[in-house]
C-alpha cells in the first residue's frame, strides 16, 4: 500500500509539471485603461477672481476642479435643493441675489464615475453705492501767492470702505491724492482742484470743485485830475484811476493825505478846509 501511494503522488506531480510547462507558452496582452483617479483633487471656486468686493450683481465664478466633469452652482447653503448639473468650464456667469451685502455662492462637483465632492463656497460683498466727500478747507477766493493748501474728507458708511482719494488740478490728469494737499507753483489766474473718493468696490463719488484766483501782479494807479501846484482856496479835489489788467480786479484804493492813511480812499477825494502851506496826496 505504501508503495502504491508513492506511485500515485509521483504521477500527480508529473501531471502538474506538464500543465505549467504548457502554460509557459501562453502570451498575454497588456491593455491600458484611463479611469477616474482613485483620489480626487479638492475643487475650489472664486468670485470675480477672488476679489472681496464688487459693484455688479452679474459676476463670474472661477472654477478649479481637476478630475471632475460636472458642476452644480447654487445660492442654497450647503448645496441643498435640486441639483442642476452642467459641464465644467473655467468661468461661469452667475447672478448675485443680495444687493449691498455679502453674497455666498455654493458649488458641488461630480466625477465621471459618479463620485461627488463636498460643498465648496466663495463669498463677495456687493456694493454699488458710491462714497460721499467734501472739502474741509479750501483757499480764499483770491491769493497773491502761488501756493495753496486743501483738505478733503470722505466716508463710505455701510459700504466696502474708502480705497483711495483722487484729484485733478485744472485740466491735468487724475492722480491719487492724500486728504491734505499742498500745491506749489500755481499759475496766475483761476486755479481749480477737483476731488473725489473711490471705494473698494470701485465706485467713484462725484467730483467736488474748489476754485480760486492767483494774482501776483500789482495793479497800477494814476492821478487823473489834481489841483495846480499853487492854489488860493481851501477846498480841492483829486481823482485817481486804478487798473489791474487781466488780474483779479481792483478791490479798493488806499491813500495818504499829509501822511494820514485813508482806507478805503474814494476815487474822487475832496479836501476841505486846507490850512495854508504845502500838502501831499499819495495813492
**C-alpha closest to that of 92 among 113, 70, 117, 115:** 70
Parallel/antiparallel/unpaired status of strands 70-74 and 58-64 = unpaired
Residue 3 has pLDDT above 90, yes or no: no
Q: Is 49 left (phi over 0), alpha (psi -120 to 50) or beta?
A: left
Partners of residue 149 on adjacent β-strands: 182
* C-alpha cell belonging to residue 58: 452679474
Within 10 A of 283 (CB to CB), how many other CB atoms are there? 19
Instruction: Write down the pLDDT at residue 8.
Output: 57
Alpha carbons 270 and 149: distance in angstroms, whole number: 43
The per-residue pLDDT for 38 is 75
Indicate if the pLDDT at residue 27 is higher than 80. no
pLDDT at res. 248: 86
Give the Cα separation of 16 and 30 in Å (integer): 27
Sheet of strand 44-47, all strands in order from the earlier edge strand to the far edge: 44-47, 58-64, 91-95
Contact 200, 52 (CB under 8 A): yes
pLDDT given for residue 16 in this prediction:
37
Would the pLDDT of 33 be above 70? no
CA angle 76, 81, 84 (to 5 degrees): 100
pLDDT (tens digit per residue) in 81-129: 888 999 999 999 999 999 999 999 999 999 999 999 999 999 999 999 9
Pick from 209, 268, 274: which is nearest to 239 by CA? 268
* 42-76 pLDDT per residue, tens: 999 999 999 999 999 999 999 999 889 999 999 99
* Percentage of residues of the chain with pLDDT beyond 70: 87
The model's confidence at residue 34, banded by pLDDT at 50, 70 and 90, is very low
- Tell me: pLDDT of 7 over 70: no
Predicted confidence at residue 12, as pLDDT, reads 46
Residue 116 contacts by C-beta under 8 Å, 6 or more apart in sequence?
108, 109, 110
Residue with the larger pLDDT of the pair 157 and 36: 157
Sheet holding 208-214, edge to edge: 142-143, 208-214, 189-199, 162-169, 175-177
35 band by pLDDT with thresholds 50, 70 and 90:
low
Q: Report which secondary-structure segment, H or E, holds 9.
A: helix 2-23
Q: How far is CA 178 from CA 111, 154, 167, 208, in A?
A: 52, 11, 9, 15
The pLDDT assigned to 37 comes to 65
Q: Which of 139, 120, 143, 133 is nearest to 40 (CA)?
A: 120
Residue 166: its pLDDT value, please? 97
pLDDT confidence tier of residue 215, bands split at 50, 70 and 90: very high
pLDDT at 255 over 60: yes
Q: What is the mean pLDDT of residues 212-223?
A: 93
Mean pLDDT of 143-155: 96
Closest listed residue to residue 210, CA positions, set 257, 261, 151, 281: 151
23-32, 39-48, 187-196, range with the lowest pLDDT: 23-32
Across the chain, mean pLDDT equals: 88
* pTM check: above 0.85: no
With beta carbons less than 8 A apart as the criterion, state whether 177 and 198 touch. Answer: no
What would the DSSP string read from start to end of 187-232? PSEEEEEEEEEEETT-PBPPPEEEEEEE--SPPEEEEEE---SS-S
What is the rounded distance in angstroms from the CA atom of residue 175 to the CA atom of residue 133? Answer: 17
Helix (H) or strand (E) holding 70: strand 70-74
Predicted local distance difference test score (pLDDT) of residue 187: 93
Q: Over the stretch 222-245, which tens digit does the pLDDT of each residue have?
A: 999 999 889 899 899 999 999 988
Amino acid at each position: 500500500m505504501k508503495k502504491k501511494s508513492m506511485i500515485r503522488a509521483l504521477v500527480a506531480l508529473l501531471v502538474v509539471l506538464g500543465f505549467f510547462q504548457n502554460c509557459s507558452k501562453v502570451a498575454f496582452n497588456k491593455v491600458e485603461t484611463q479611469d477616474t483617479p482613485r483620489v480626487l483633487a479638492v475643487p475650489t471656486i472664486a468670485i470675480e477672481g477672488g476679489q472681496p468686493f464688487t459693484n455688479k450683481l452679474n459676476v463670474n465664478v472661477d472654477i478649479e476642479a481637476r478630475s471632475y466633469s460636472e458642476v452644480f452652482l447654487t445660492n442654497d447653503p450647503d448645496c441643498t435643493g435640486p441639483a442642476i448639473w452642467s459641464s465644467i468650464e473655467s468661468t461661469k456667469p452667475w447672478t448675485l441675489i443680495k444687493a449691498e451685502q455679502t453674497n455666498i455662492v455654493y458649488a458641488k462637483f461630480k466625477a465621471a464615475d459618479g463620485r461627488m465632492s463636498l460643498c465648496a463656497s466663495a463669498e463677495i460683498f456687493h456694493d454699488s453705492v458710491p462714497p460721499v466727500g467734501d472739502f474741509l478747507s479750501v483757499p480764499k477766493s483770491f491769493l497773491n501767492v502761488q501756493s495753496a493748501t486743501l483738505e478733503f474728507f470722505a466716508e463710505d458708511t455701510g459700504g466696502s470702505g474708502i480705497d483711495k482719494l483722487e484729484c485733478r488740478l485744472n485740466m491735468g490728469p487724475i492722480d491719487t491724492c492724500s486728504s491734505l494737499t499742498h500745491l506749489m507753483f500755481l499759475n496766475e489766474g483761476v486755479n481749480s482742484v477737483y476731488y473725489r473718493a473711490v471705494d473698494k468696490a470701485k465706485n467713484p463719488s462725484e467730483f467736488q470743485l474748489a476754485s480760486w484766483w492767483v494774482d501776483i501782479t500789482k495793479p497800477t494807479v494814476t492821478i487823473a485830475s489834481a489841483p495846480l501846484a499853487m492854489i488860493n482856496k481851501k477846498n480841492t479835489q483829486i481823482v485817481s484811476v486804478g487798473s489791474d489788467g487781466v488780474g483779479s480786479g481792483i478791490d479798493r484804493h488806499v491813500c495818504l493825505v499829509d501822511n494820514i492813511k485813508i482806507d478805503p480812499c474814494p476815487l474822487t477825494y475832496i479836501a476841505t478846509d486846507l490850512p495854508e502851506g504845502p500838502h501831499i496826496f499819495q495813492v
